[in-house]
Amino acid sequence: MRDMILSSSEFRLLERLRLNPNKAFPGRVRGERLTTRRGLSIEFADYREYTEGDDLRHLDWNVLARLDQPIMKTYRDEEDLAVHVLIDASASMSFGEPTKLAQARKIGAALCYAALMGGDAVYPAAIGEPPSKPQPLRARSSYPRFCRWANRLGADGTVSLEASVKSFAASSARPGIVMLLTDGMDPNTVSAIRFLAGRGHEVNLLQVLTPMELRPDIEGDLRLIDIEGGPPVDITANSITLKEYDRNLNAHIDSLKTEVLRVGGRYALTTTDEVLEDIVRDHFIRGRWLAA
Amino acid sequence: MNLLNPGVLWWLLPLGGAIVALYLLRMRRRDLQVPANFLWPERTDEIRANSLFQKLKFSWLMVLQLLALLLIGAALSRPQTEQSGLAGDLTVIVLDASASMSASEGARSRFDLAVRASEQIIADAQPGDKLAMILAGPLPEVVFPLSSDPALQRMKLRDVEGTDAEADVGEALRLAAALAKSDDSAQIILISDGAFEEPENFSPGGASVQFVKVGDAKENLGIEAIGAVQTGEGKNVYVGVRNYGDASQSASLSIHADGDLINSSRFDVKPGETWGRTFPAPANSEVLEARLTDGGALTADDYGVELTGSAAAKQILVVTPGSPFLERVLSLEPGVVVDKSGSVPDREKRSSLGPGQYDIVIFDGVPEEEVKSLGILSFASIGPSSPVSSSGSVKNPTFLSASDHELLDGVDLSGVYIADALRLQLKGSATAAADSDSGPLIVARDGLQRQVVTSFRPGNSDFPLTVAFPIFIANTIEYLAGAAASNVLEVATGQSLALPADEVEVEAPDGTKTTYTGKDGRTVVRGFSRIGPHKVKYAGLEKTVYASLKDPLESSIKPRSDVSLGGSDTEGTEAAIRLMDIWKPLALLALLILAGEWFMFARRS
């Protein structure tokens, strides 16, 4: 049986929600999104003086009758939104029960479903893997394709988060909203966010951590081995060390959050033990990531 | 700082090394895979099991453990600090009153400084502390017994005086040890300059002994020798002056004959050397005195005296295979010089030519021979010139009666047990001074050569154990000396003199008079504590006793930094000190550090 990642109740929850980007993006096909580009659509945008050659169907006859002055009505164009769902598939995402990757996959599926329901174009991509040319998913019927892609993901990426994100940003991906689902366990994550924003993307970062990462329950003399490589670190896990780790983690989270907000995006932190309904309610709806 | 158990400190090195070695062991760490380690601080407070060696890293835990070990080791070594005051509840002060203590230390004497130190000890005593003081003079004297009355102690202390005599510090210390033995924490404080012979048979027991050193002066000249000799050119007196100090000194010496100045001389003497000179003296002079001016810090040794002619010391020869009682009594007798021999030297025999050297010859356990001396004392020894003959021996003769002969002045023979005696018969003009149920016990014969014979040897009776024995010997010497007996005597300062009287008045050179009372017709004048002539009046007689100090140990006044007491060297201190145990605060500090170390360990683990 095909794994649809989400349960039926979660589908029902998401069916009435749409992505709510902070800013509008030009689309390639007519969709359900308003674009800043003035065009011929049905939603009024502004007035301008008539110039020769204009389509007289958009002349405001009422103004002409009252003021005897030809004024043209302009409309905002309605286009589809490019939604890039970037799921971190690096080795560090294999931690937790369920794993951070599984949690990110589920959240990504939820966002993808909401985007598809809103008529947006979803571009799934894996962080930590070599870059590929993703094909857009459109319409709810494309959701199973997302699931097949997502279920194939394993936490075995070998490319760093920074390098992978920069590679994505440097590609010809349409500017749109980036749903970055990662644990952010890369000291250069801030740089990656800045790079994404610099390419015109709206960066929405959902940081997925395990409860163990937030409150480590370790003691004794340990040699910490980074699963993504690098020299090991010898520590004595005592109250002093744990306090210092806590300070470092909070500082790192704060730096991510600050950078995301600075570039006009959104930030949320969740854990692997938080259920999707709570995430949607507490982070996405309350944080206006999704709107009804 | 004093350590009672310094050997413990040797353990600090291996134990400290063991602690450091533990920190040299490399930590065996458990591997733990984490998503990322850049958030983790590299803190390696190694607190648990180790394996192989590594480079030593700084660790506060190690520092605290080493510090705690150091403190524990220091506490176990029982450190003590010196503080002024008394250590125990019971303290016996031994105050040296010897001649060297009268040395001048600026405006005050060394003895005055010692008294002041004693006052300070009394002032430092806590209420309830018991103090006693013994004055270490020629004879030990208890200044005040054990008491807790500072007022009484101060009052008694005001009356103490130094002497110009050699002190029996050993006897004073033995007496102090006897007083202190009742308390294990007792303390004996000797206040002295350390110029005394090492005490024999002194054991402080459980008491601690402290030596409070007084005095700094060391420059001193002393009359080392004075003697008169009759030569073909007349009578001469020789005087030797020794420099006991560290620097050359100049001094003046004056010679007096029977109180008249006959010569004087100014001289220099180098340190450690003796200046000597012979002076002519009047032929008929009896008392020759030498007085030193500018003789250094000690004046007690600036006086010497030599009696000549009839006043000269009596030369006594004891012919005996061994008679300890007799030799002991004679050594204490003033005005005599005693030699001992197993047989009569040829030149003393009457058959030889020339004059004899000895005034009196005593035969004890050796057959009497004819000798040239003025008098003969024979103990159960009969010879050809004896005033008695013997007709065998008797067992346990019992004393019956005594005549009023001067030999028995102050001598009570009743109750004297005699094991063996000769049965004597009088010959010629001999008279029995004492009789027994088996014949004469003591016989005397007057004449050109006086003789005294006893029918028993002192060793065959308990006579030497009675107080009558030294009196009998003194009476006999005076009787045998006969016309040679003089009204002048020479004694060493501190020497006692037993006189046949119930009361004796002694007028010291400074004019102070002291009356001594005795019993049974015998009075002991306990020590002539000052140098110079003392007028002694008793039983209608008057004698002049010249006391002088001839003791190189006392003349060598340089204070000793430490003295040997009870078999161990005791270092001198400036004041009475008490040793305070400080192991308790050290142990407490070690405990606090260990608590801190535990707290740090708990925080880090």
Average pLDDT of chain B to the nearest whole number: 85
Q: Which two tokens stand for residue B483?
A: 């016309």
Residue A263: its pLDDT value, please? 93
Structural domain contains residue B21 = yes
- The reported pLDDT for the residue numbered B384 is 84
- Which chain A residues have a beta carbon less than 8 Å from that of B31? 222-223, 225, 232
Check whether residue B516 and residue B539 sit in a common domain. Answer: yes
Which residues from A are below 8 Å from B603, CB to CB? 238-240
- The CATH code of the domain that includes A135 is 3.40.50.410
Would B62 be classed as within a structural domain? yes
Kindly report the CATH number assigned to the domain that includes residue B201.
3.40.50.410
Choose the final residue of a domain: A61, A79, A97: A79
Three-class SS of residue B604? helix
* Last-in-domain residue among A41, A56, A79: A79
In a domain, B126, yes or no: yes
- Token pair of B376 as six digits: 């003969």
Residue B553 belongs to some domain of the structure: no
Q: Which residues of B touch A246 (CB under 8 A)?
A: none
Q: For residue A158, which of A94, A89, A99, A96 has the smallest C-alpha distance?
A: A89
Same domain? For B471 and B366 the reply is yes
Q: Which residues does A54 contact at the CB level (< 8 Å), separation at least 6?
A: A72
| Same structural domain, B477 and B521 | no
Within a domain: B287: yes
Q: Are residues B226 and B301 in the same domain?
A: yes
Give the pLDDT confidence of A34-52 residue by residue, as tens digits. 444 444 445 565 677 776 6
Alpha carbons A129 and A137: distance in angstroms, whole number: 20
Pair of tokens at residue B21: 């070695």
Residue B118 sits in the same domain as residue B136: yes
Instruction: Please judge whether A235 and B48 are an interchain contact, meaning their C-beta atoms are less than 8 angstroms apart.
Output: no
> Residue A209: closest CA among chain B residues belongs to which residue?
B35
Residue B267 lies in a domain: yes
Which residue is listed with tokens 């589809």? A80
Q: Could you tell me if B32 lies within 8 Å of chain A, comparing CB atoms?
A: yes
Q: How far apart are CA B59 and CA B46, in angstroms?
A: 8
Residue B108: pLDDT over 70: yes
Give the angle subtended at the CA of A121 by the CAs of A117 and A124, to the nearest 5°: 105
The dihedrals phi and psi of B325, each to the nearest 5 degrees, come to -65, -45
Q: B150 — phi, psi (to 5°)?
A: -60, -35
Q: What is the pLDDT of residue A78?
A: 47
**Closest to A240 (Cβ–Cβ): which among B33, B35, B43?**
B43
Q: Are residues A56 and A91 in the same domain?
A: no
B601 CB neighbours in chain A (<8 A) are none
The pLDDT score that the predictor gives to residue B49 is 45
Cβ separation A241–B46 shorter than 8 A: no
- pLDDT bracket for residue B550 (50, 70, 90): confident
C-alpha Rg value of chain B to the nearest Å: 35
Mutation site, B33, B46, B50, interface A, largest A CB count within 10 A:
B33
- Residues A64 and A177 both lie in one domain: no
C-alpha to C-alpha distance for B529 and B197, rounded to whole angstroms: 19
- Chain A contact present for B43, CB below 8 A: yes
A185 contacts B32? CB cut-off 8 A: no
List Cα–Cα distances, A278 to A271, A284, B559, in angstroms: 11, 9, 98
- Domain identity same for B211 and B226: no
Give the count of domains, chain A.
2
Q: Residue B308 burial (CB < 10 Å; 0-12/13-18/19+)?
A: buried
Of A167-181, B220-234, B566-580, the range with the lowest mean pLDDT is B566-580
Q: Is B37 on the interface with A (CB under 8 A)?
A: yes
| A112 plus A58 within the same structural domain | no
Kindly give the pairing relationship between strand A290-291 and strand A18-19. antiparallel
Give the residue-averaged pLDDT of B139-168: 90
The count of C-alpha atoms lying within 13 angstroms of the C-alpha of B457, restricted to the half-sphere facing its C-beta, is 17
- A208 and A140 part of one domain: yes
Instruction: Specify whether B527 is located in the same domain as B564.
Output: no
Is the Cα torsion angle A169, A174, A177, A183 positive or negative in sign?
A: negative
Whether B241 shows a pLDDT value over 70: the answer reads: yes
Closest by alpha carbon to A253, among A223, A214, A201, A283? A214
Residue B435 sits in the same domain as residue B341: yes
Whether the CB-CB separation of A223 and B32 falls below 8 Å is answered with yes
- Considering only alpha carbons, which residue of chain B is nearest residue A186? B36
Nearest to A222 among B29, B38, B39 (CB): B29
Q: Does B31 contact A222 at a Cβ distance shorter than 8 Å?
A: yes
> Of B30, B35, B41, which is closest to A185 when you measure between CB atoms?
B35
Averaged pLDDT, A262-287: 94
Q: Do A245 and B36 touch (CB under 8 A)?
A: no
Same domain, B294 and B317: no
Phi, psi of B163, rounded to the nearest 5 degrees: -130, 170
Asked which of A103-112, A252-261, B101-110, B402-411 is least confident by mean pLDDT, the reply is B402-411
Cβ–Cβ under 8 Å, residues B115 and B160? yes
Domain boundary among B447, B482, B517: B482
In a domain, A1, yes or no: no
Q: How far apart are CA B5 and CA A245, in angstroms?
A: 50
Q: Does B519 touch chain A (CB under 8 A)?
A: no
Q: What is the CATH number of the domain that holds B375?
A: 3.40.50.880
- A143: which strand partners? none
Shared-domain flag, residues A43 and A158: no
Q: Find which of A156, A209, A223, A246 to mutate to test the B interface (most B CBs within 10 Å of its CB).
A: A223
**pLDDT surpassing 60 at residue A77:** no
Provide the CATH number for the domain around residue B273. 2.60.40.10
B554, part of any domain: no
Q: Considering B436, B456, B482, which residue would you say is the last residue of a domain?
A: B482
Ranges A20-34, B496-510, B574-588: which has the least confidence: A20-34
Return the residue of B nearest to A100 by Cα: B35
Burial level of A105, CB count in 10 A (0-12/13-18/19+)? buried
* Buried-exposed string B149-169: b where 16+ CB fall within 10 A, e elsewhere: ebeebeebbeebebbbbbbbb
Q: In this predicted model, what pLDDT tens digit does every residue of B335-393 receive, in sequence order?
A: 788 888 888 888 888 888 877 888 899 999 888 888 888 899 999 888 888 888 888 88
* Interchain contact, B38 vs A187, CB within 8 Å: yes
- What percentage of chain B carries pLDDT values higher than 70? 94
Residues B152-163: what's their mean pLDDT?
91
Minimal CA separation from B600 to chain A, in Å: 11
Residue numbers of the domain that contains A40: 31-79
Q: Which long-range contacts (CB under 8 A, 24 or more apart) does B8-13 make?
A: B8/B73, B8/B76, B8/B77, B9/B73, B9/B74, B9/B77, B11/B73, B12/B69, B12/B70, B12/B73
Q: Does A3 map to a domain? A: no
- Predicted pLDDT at B482: 67
Same domain, A183 and A263: yes
Q: Is pLDDT at B290 greater than 90 in this prediction?
A: yes
d(CA B316, CA B333): 11
Can you say whether residue A132 is alpha, beta or left, with left for phi > 0 and alpha for psi between -120 and 50 degrees? beta
Banded pLDDT at A68 (limits 50, 70, 90)? confident
Do residues A67 and A182 share a domain? Answer: no
Are B225 and B163 part of one and the same domain?
Answer: no
Distance from CA of A272 to the nearest CA of B (A): 14
pLDDT at B495 over 90: no
Q: Are residues B164 and B304 in the same domain?
A: no
If DSSP states are collapsed to H, E and C, what string results for B106-161?
CCEEHHHHHHHHHHHHHHHCCCCCEEEEEEECCCEEEEEEEECCHHHHHHHHHCCC
Residue % of chain B over a pLDDT of 90:
26
Confidence band, pLDDT 50/70/90 cuts, at residue A265: very high
Nearest CA in chain A to B605: A238
Tokens of A22: 């902070």
Q: Are both A44 and A158 inside the same structural domain?
A: no
Nearest CB to B30 within list A95, A223, A226 = A223
| Number of structural domains found in chain B | 5
Query: Please, is B323 exposed, middle or buried when counting C-beta atoms within 10 Å of its C-beta (0-12, 13-18, 19+)?
Result: buried
Per CB-CB distance under 8 Å, the chain A contacts of B59 are none
* Any domain includes B41: yes
If asked whether residues B290 and B350 sit together in one domain, one would say: no
Asked whether residue A111 is assigned to any structural domain, the reply reads yes
Pair (A170, A114) in one structural domain: yes
Subunit contact B39:A227, Cβ cutoff 8 A: no
* Same domain membership, residue A44 and residue A155: no
Q: Is B92 helix (H, G, I), strand (E, B) or coil?
A: strand
With CB atoms and an 8 Å threshold, state whether A185 touches B605.
Answer: no
Residue B594's domain comprises 2-82+583-604
CB contact under 8 A, A222 and B45: no
Cβ distance A227 to B605 less than 8 Å, yes or no, reads no
Query: pLDDT tens digit string along B377-398?
Result: 999 888 888 888 888 889 989 8
